[in-house]
Structure formats: structure tokens, C-alpha cells
Chains A and B, each alone.
Chain A
Amino acid sequence: MASRIQIPATKYPVERFTLANGLRVVLSPDRSAPVVGVAVVYDVGIRSEPEGRTGFAHLFEHLMFQGSENLEKLAHFRHVQGAGGSFNGSTHLDYTDYFEVLPSGALERALFLEADRMRGPRLTEENLRNQVDVVKEEIRVNVLNRPYGGFPWLKLPPVMFRTFANAHDGYGSFEDLESATVEDAQGFFDRYYACGNAVLSVAGDFDVAEATAMIERHFGDVPARPAPVLPDFAEPGLDGERRETYVDRIAPLPAVAAGYRVPDPIGSFDTYLPFSVLAEVLTDGDASRLVERLVQRDRSVTSIGGYLGFMGDEYQVRNPTALLLQAHMPPGGDAGKVLRTVDEELDRLVADGLQPGELERTQARMSARLLQGTDEVLGRALPMAVLELQRGRPGLLNELPRLLGEVTADQIVTAAATLRPESRATVEVIPGAAA
């Protein structure tokens, strides 16, 4: 093997400050392309939904696009796109994000739009009913009308966790969605959408002093409201293997997913990071251990993937979370056998350690992926906002390639040794449409 390739790092500048009303701000200027990314993240997600209101955090995200103090319904979309930009939002376990990417001359407009809805969305019965319908169609298109819908992100948590916060369906039941009220929405906004519970982040082509003045101008008078107390969603790990199956009436082939609890991604970051590398050692590409064994040698799976976090947001999730393995199998595939082979390969990794070059090549590819992600302005604005929100450390984005490069073979082996069948939750898809 040739000498190890140097793992490069990015040096995106990071400026942090807090407005008088408690809004935290992260700025990361880079003038290599005439575009800006704006992100606002709120410290509330699926885990904070009340019982009987599954799917509410996501439904509320939709309502944040339905108009606000100075904006009619449809105005947000038209103003962003009419400036040449794109927008979206997404709801995660621990946060909800709203973002735009635009030509740089539209920065102030994006700040205006975000500040206006931070003061308060227009919550009306008509908009609520409309967006309940839209969300039901979203669930149909992504879950109910396609094979493997919600697998495993919605299907594994109830096997792995016992508490409502961690176990419930984050897309929500139709019954819960339909029973949501405008009062629920107002209460959710009042409780969680405080500017003290949010981070604004801007990345890309702007001048720091000018952007700071714009932010003061538009967000400075958002009323100060304190953040609610951050809940602790910790729950004990499994005391034995748990396995569930379900029939997917559309799926033609079997599949299986397994989850293993991992250390606290924030409180135990040093011991968490090796799991990130381990997931790639196991499943990244044709030279990874489980692909080589299960796909190529045994042909017991057609594909296998491994990652941290149910939504793949490994550095943007709080405790408790998991390392997930997800495999699709050929006709008649045997999930038990696949899991036993995974155990065998983990045992072999723990007993024999890594091969020469195996760690280095995995780290090199991981760094390339991280760097590619940061080439987009939103690939900086969004993760920096969440890293500020959850860790007070947006600059971690620059440091990740190096930190991953410093993970040692011993740490990988130690991490692998914790992935035991007795601490595993698995869910198996029984194909309801098998030929």
C-alpha cells in the first residue's frame, strides 16, 4: 500500500454572537460563489411531541410556511423563489430546521422572512386542515404507497425503545394528525419556538459587518422568550435481544435492520466518534467487511448499509441513539443467518483487529464525503446551526475530518466489542408481495 494520503481540512471562518433577545447567531463567510445559505434551527423535534399528538412537530413545521405577521399564505415561497432561491424545512428527532439558499443579493430578504415567522406564524383552521391533508399525502407517498416505507427509521425505534419520546412514529398517525387543533399549534409555538431556543446561521457570500447589521435590524426586536428546559430523553439500554417482524404488503423481498445503542453523541463524543468510523469499516463500499462477506461471498444480502442515528444525522442527534445496520435480502433470505454472520464478522474484527491500511482508507473516504458536503452553502449553514444549538461548537464542522482521522484501530475494536446480540434490537420485513 502506498503511503497514506494526507487528510485535508477546511478552514471556514466562524463568527458567533448572541443578540440581546437570546437568539444565537453563527456566520461563516466564504466568497467563492455568489450564493448564501440561511438556516434557522429550533431546539424541538419529534421526541418532544406530546402523547396523542404523534407527527405534530412535523405538522407544525408545515404550518411555519403558511404565512406570518407580514406575509400572506404563499408569500414565503414566492419571495424566496422569486429571488432566485430555494427553500425547505425538515423535522428531526431533536431539532427542526428551516433554510434557504439564494443568490447573495437576496440575503436580507431571507433574513426578513425568517424573522417574520420567528415572531409568529399565522395559525388558522383553514391552513391547518390544508396542511393535515398535505402531510397525509406525504406519508402516503413516502410510507404507505411504496415498498419498505419508513424502514427502518419508523419501524425500529418501537423495538429498541420503551419510552413514548423515543419509540413513537415521528410521521404520526392519521388519527393524531386529524385531531390536531390551532390551539395545539399556538401552544407548541409559544413553548418551543422562542428565540432563546433557536440558532440563526448564515454561510456563503456576504460581508460579516453588513450581515450583522441586517440581522440586528430584522431579528433584534423579536420578543425575548426563554428556552424551555431541555428534556432528558435517556432510557436504559436493552436487557436482552429484541426482535420483531412485520408484513409489508407491497415489498417483494425480505429485509432486516438492527440497531445497537451507542455512547452519548455529545456527552461522550470521544467514545462516540469511533462508532462513526466503525459503521464505514463495516459497510462503506465493496472493500468493507460486511459488503465483502454478505454481498459478495455469501450472497445472503443484495445490499447492506450502516450508519449512526435513525435519520442518518450522526453529528446532529442527542442521546439516546444507535448504530444501525440495514440489509435487503434475496428471495427466501434468512434474517437470522444474516445476523449470525454479522456477529461472526464483529467477533473476527474484535479478535484480529483491522487489516493494514483498512482504517486509513476508510478515513480517507470519509473525509472526502465530509468535504463534499461542505462545498454547498447549506452544507455549512445547516450543520453549523445544529452544532451551535446542541454543542455551542459550530467550528466542529471544520475539525471533523481531522478528528475522524485520529480515531485509532484500538478504538474501533473497542467499539465493535460493544455490538453484542444481547444488546441488539432488530426488525424484519416480511415481504407481503413475494412472488
Chain B
Amino acid sequence: MSSRTLPDLIPNAELTLPPQAERTLPNGLTVIAIRRAAVPLAEVRLRIPFGRAPLAAATLLSQALFTGTGTMSMLDIAAELQAVGGGLAAGLDPDRLQISGNTLAGGLGRLLEILAGVLTDATYPGEEVVTERERLVDHIQVALSQPSHLARVALLKRMFLTHPYAVQTPEADEVRAVEPEALRELHAARVRPDGAILVLVGDIDPDQVIDLAEKALGGWTGTAPEGEIPPTPALRPGPLLLVDRPGSVQSSLRIALPALTRTDPDYAALSLANMVFGGYFSSRWVENIREDKGYTYGSHSVVEHFASGSALIAAADVATEVTGPSLLETTYELGRIASLPPGEEELEQARRYALGTLRLGMSTQSGLAALASVYAGFGLRLDHLRDHSAALAAATREQVAAVAARHLAPALAVTVVLGDAEKIEPQLAALTAVERDVP
């Protein structure tokens, strides 16, 4: 066998941001337009603040938003969007209603006109709303059979207690009780441009496309009441919460830890600490419980940002018979990152990964649109990438170790395990205090 040398990396060129323009229209809508002309398409993201909206009605509104306007049926909306190569869909999170889509670039004007019709004149026709309501109820029933969903539901409750973020999926019965009139009222109250942000990315001229958006959406007016959500409560570590799922052939392990907002001076260091622990494939956690032990197909930890607070969430689905050993290794890896500084090379590797994936994320229209829209939701613009890159490049081992001690210590963890309780409770109880979920 001959020995060959790994080629060196050519250092990244300086980060260049794409051409962009921004304007807040008289109706309060902020429009951000970004040019990436690689393919003749345009991406559209509209975020409308929706904090504290009644959950069942808001969820159904997001499903039924495109069911009709004063001048167009559901079929007309879908067909006319399709005719310009377009498509739109709506989704809800605890902070916002988000409308996303894309179109052939030449159809952007028409897509915005159709969108304006929906925003200003959605009628929520009874028949269509009832169909969407039944579909949503079925969808919720299917979600309740998915371990990932059930584990998430249990974790959110444990993390957020009585805070509005604690429950993010409505009960089927609550959805069944929502009448079309409630959607019309909610739409009138909350689907308003003041404070909303529209991001347009693609084969466009940024200034011209803002004019186009103003022309199409200038007639959308009004202000919504304050939907401010209070800051998230501090996590309260306690016994591991065990949720029974009889017959489960895997256990879903979920851990929440305290995190920092994107603009915190220590956020870059926390991102790097998270990478080293479990934030990418070449992390200690994956190398341990997958590549060494074979307990899981994959584990992953990520910092999630909500408008009112951030949390670090670690997730792995592991074989039932090694649930205890998986928790043991996870606790060990958290303890290790919280107690000892990372190795120099492993920190550099995590740093290069973090910096490289920023560039990958900016390399497509849809990636740019997602990034610009998420950032804008936190009051940031794409130029924050420069600051964040600089902070990632500058974070020292000492800073990473210090932030890991404050955020990744296993003593701080809120832990939920969903699985076959009869089989896994003894394994878990050998390691930590366990409390059964009372349904």
C-alpha cells in the first residue's frame, strides 16, 4: 500500500453578500429583495407576527388560507399560481404565520397579485374550511402515532411549563370546534402588514421588485394587536420524564439545555461547543453512540431560536435494549464538554465546519431566502453573517469551555425519554431519578 497525503485546503475567500435592497412600505410591511440570478426563479417568504393567536384557529387558518377569495375559488388560486410556475403554502409556529413559495421569475408579479388577493380578501368558504378541518384532525391523529412528535410534545411541556410555547399542536377536539367565522375574524385581526416581513430572492432586480411588491401589496393595510410573548422561563432540571409507548422498538431520547440568543456575545462560542458535543456528524456524541457503539442511526443537537428565547435541544432514537447505556454515554459526553476544554484540532474542525456551512447555506436561492427571512424575524439582516463569521473565527478554547460549562452541563438538562416503559424504566432508573408521565 502506498501512502498518500491529504491535499491542503485553499482558504475561503472573504464572504461576499449578494446585491440587495430593502424598503418599509407605507402600510408597515418591510420588503427585503436579494439578487441571486443562477436559475430563473424567485423565492418568496412572508412572515406575519402571530404570537398568542388562539392555537386551534391559527393552525386551521394556516391550512385554509388559500381556500378562496372574493373573486377566486380555491381551484382558481391553485391553477393561476401553477400557470406561472408558482406555488404557495402557509405554516405556523408559535411566533409567526409564514407563507412560503416560489415561481418562475417572470411570474413573480402575478404571484404577488394572487397573494395580495388572499391577504386582503380571503373568504374561508364553509365547505372548503370543513374539508381542511377534517384533514387537519386526521393529520393530528397521525402525528400522535409518531414517536418524534410525541417526544417533542412531552419535551416542550417540560421546558416551557405554562408559557405559550409549551403547547404547539392543538387537540383534535379543539380543531373540530373551530367554525369558518372564527377564521375570518382571526384573519381580520391578525393578518396585517404592520410588522410583517416579505423576503424575495432570485433572478430579480432588487429595486424593481420592491416596486412590484409595493404595487401588488400596497392595498393590504392595518395593524394587528400586540402579540408579544413573555421571555421563556428558565429550564427547571428535575427527574427524567419517562413517557410510555408500549411496544416501541426504540426509545426517543430528548434533552433540553439553556442556550443563548443569536446576538449574545457568547453565542458563537456556544455554537462551537454544541458542534463539538453533538451538532454535526463528526461530533463526540455521534462518534460515540453511533460509530463506536452502534446504539443509534443518528443523534443530533441544535440550538433552536424562538422569538422569546433560545434552547439547545439534543435528540437521538436508540434501540430499546440499550436505552440506559445510551443515556449513560450522553451524560458522559455532556459532562466531558462541560468540564474539560475541547482539543485544539477538534475545535478547529468544528470552526471550519461552522464557517463552511454558512457559505453552503447562502449558495442557493431557497437557502438565502430561508436565512434572510429567519434573520429578519429576529431583527437581523444578512450582514449579520459577517459578524457571526468573525465571532466564530475568533472564539477561543477558553471561551468555548466557559460557555460549555454554563450551558451543556448534564446537571442543567431537562430530559424526556419516550419508549416502552416496562423495558426501559429499570435501565434508566439505574442512572437517574425517573418520573413517569401521567397522561
Contacts and interface: CB of A to CB of B under 8 A. Distances in A.
A78 B287 CA distance: 10
Given A32-B36, A137-B295, A372-B39, A367 B360 contact: no
Interface in A70-115: 70, 73-74, 77-79, 81-87, 101-106, 108-109, 111-112
B247 A83 contact: no
Nearest to A357: B83
Interface of A: 1-2, 4-8, 10, 30, 32-35, 69-70, 73-74, 77-79, 81-87, 101-106, 108-109, 111-112, 116, 129-138, 140-142, 144-147, 249-253, 284-287, 292, 295-296, 299, 302-303, 328, 330-331, 357, 360-362, 364-365, 367-368, 371-372, 374-377, 433, 435
Interface of B: 1-4, 6-13, 36-41, 66, 74-75, 77-79, 81-87, 102-107, 110, 128, 131, 134-135, 138-139, 141-142, 144-148, 247-250, 280-282, 287, 290-298, 317-319, 348-349, 352-353, 355-357, 359-360, 362-366
A302 B74 CA distance: 16
Contact of B82 (A82, A140, A362): A362
Given A35-B359, A83-B352, A145-B250, A364 B82 contact: yes
Given A5-B104, A33-B363, A116-B4, A286 B75 contact: yes
A357 B79 contact: yes
Nearest to B275: A81
B253 to A, nearest CB: 12
Contacts of A131: 294
Contacts of B75: 286-287, 292, 296
A83 B366 CA distance: 23
Contacts of A376: 363-364
Nearest to A286: B78
18 contacts: A4-B83, A30-B38, A69-B2, A81-B281, A81-B352, A84-B355, A85-B356, A109-B7, A111-B7, A129-B294, A134-B296, A141-B297, A145-B249, A250-B145, A302-B135, A302-B139, A328-B142, A364-B107
B144 A252 contact: yes
Contacts of A10: 39
A361 B364 CA distance: 25
B11 A105 contact: yes
Contacts of B40: 8, 371
Contact of A81 (B10, B280, B364): B280
A357 B79 CA distance: 9
Contacts of B365: 372, 375
A409 to B, nearest CB: 16
Contact of A375 (B249, B291, B366): B366
Given A145-B147, A364-B85, A368-B85, A34 B13 contact: yes
A286 B77 contact: yes
Contacts of B1: 69
B9 A81 contact: no
Contact of B9 (A32, A105, A133, A286): A105
A325 B3 CA distance: 52
Contacts of B352: 81-84
A296 B127 CA distance: 9
Given A253-B138, A330-B138, A136 B319 contact: yes
Contacts of B3: 70
B283 to A, nearest CB: 9
A400 B108 CA distance: 22
A6 B4 CA distance: 51
B392 to A, nearest CB: 11
Contacts of B355: 84
Contacts of B317: 137, 140-141, 145
B178 to A, nearest CB: 17
Given A105-B12, A286-B77, A375-B365, A146 B82 contact: no
A33 B359 CA distance: 8
Nearest to B286: A77
Contacts of A302: 134-135, 138-139
A225 to B, nearest CB: 17
B107 A5 contact: yes
Contacts of B86: 365, 368
A147 B39 contact: no
Contacts of A112: 4, 6-7
A35 B367 CA distance: 13
Given A108-B7, A368-B41, A84 B357 contact: yes
B284 to A, nearest CB: 11
Contact of B297 (A137, A292, A372, A374): A137
A306 to B, nearest CB: 15
Contacts of A365: 82, 85-87
A103 B297 contact: no
B145 A252 contact: yes
A141 B147 CA distance: 9
Nearest to B10: A105
Contacts of B281: 77, 81, 87
Given A102-B356, A330-B138, 4 more contacts: A30-B38, A35-B360, A112-B4, A250-B145
A286 B64 CA distance: 12
A253 B140 CA distance: 11
Contacts of A111: 7
7 A-B pairs with least C-beta separation: A84-B356, A133-B294, A105-B10, A368-B85, A33-B363, A286-B78, A287-B78
Contacts of B363: 33-35, 376-377
B11, B79, B81, B293: which has the most chain A beta carbons within 10 Å? B79
